[in-house]
Amino acid sequence: MKPGALDMPATLDKRLPIPLYHQLKMILLRDIESGRWKADDRLPTESDLERLYGVSKITVRQALRDLAESGYVRREQGRGTFVARPRLEQGPRALSSFTEEMRHHGLRSGSRILQSAVVPCVAAAAQKLAVETGTLVFLLKRLRLAEGEPMGVQTACIPLHLAPGLPGDDLENASLYEILQSKYGRIAAHAHETHSAVLAEGEDARLLGVPSGSPALAAERITYLADGHPMEFVTAIMRGDRYRIVLDLVKEPR
C-alpha cells in the first residue's frame, strides 16, 4: 500500500441523491486517473475504506466491483484490490503485426513458441485460406508478451508453398510479417479481422496468467496479399484486462 495514502480521504455527501457507492467509486477513480494511485498499487482494504468514508461493506464492495468491471482495478483473492495496468487500445489502424503494435505503444514485445509444425490444413482454416482441406500449412502458436507480461495466445496458419523455409526460421522474438516480407517477398496488403467477447478458460487462462473465467477478446484475422490471395489465417485470445476496442465513428452525410 502506498505510504500515507490513508491520510487522504475525500468526503462523501449523504445528502446528495447520488448513491454512496457511486460517490466512492468516483473518488477512487479520480485518484487513479490523477496518478495518486499507480498501476499495481494496492488500494486500502475494504475495512479501511469503510472506516475512512463511514460507509457499509456493501457500499465499498459495489464501488470496487464497478471499478473492476470497468477495468480500472483488479481484485485478487486473499491479496486485495490493485490498480490495473492501462489497457491497450485497438481500433481502426494500419495493418500491423503484434511486434509493430507493441512498438507503437512503446513496449518491448516478445514471444514464447508453444507449437511450430507443418500440418495438413483442417477444413475450417482451409476455407479461410482458400485452399483444399489437407493442404500443408505452417502452424505457429505463440504466447505473445509485452515487457515480459503475457498479452495473448496467437495461432497462425500460413500455406507452406508461400514460405517453404518458415519451419526453420527463428520466430521466437521476430515479427512474422517482417520475415515473410524480407525473406519470401510476401507482403501483407490488407486484412479482415473480427472480434468477440469470450471467457479465458483452461489452458488459455493458464498461459495468460489470469483466473479461469476472466474476460478476454477473441480475434480472427485473414491477411491477404496484393493479388487478393489469403496469406495467413490467425486466431487469438487476448487478455480483456489489457485490451479494449475503440472505434471512431463518423456520421455519413445524407
pTM over 0.75: no
Separation between Cα atoms, residue 72 and residue 241, nearest integer Å: 9
pLDDT in tens, 87-99: 654 554 444 455 5
Confidence at residue 3, expressed as pLDDT on a 0 to 100 scale: 40
Fold of 88-245: Chorismate lyase (3.40.1410)
**Domain residue spans of the chain:** 5-83, 88-245
What CATH number should be reported for the domain whose range is 5-83?
A: 1.10.10.10
CA nearest to 131, candidates 161, 156, 155? 161
pLDDT of residue 71 exceeding 80: no
Taking only Cα atoms into account, the Rg of the chain, rounded to an integer number of angstroms, comes to: 23
Q: Are 3 and 44 in contact (CB under 8 A)?
A: no
- Give residue for cell 517453404: 164
**Mean pLDDT along residues 200-227:** 90
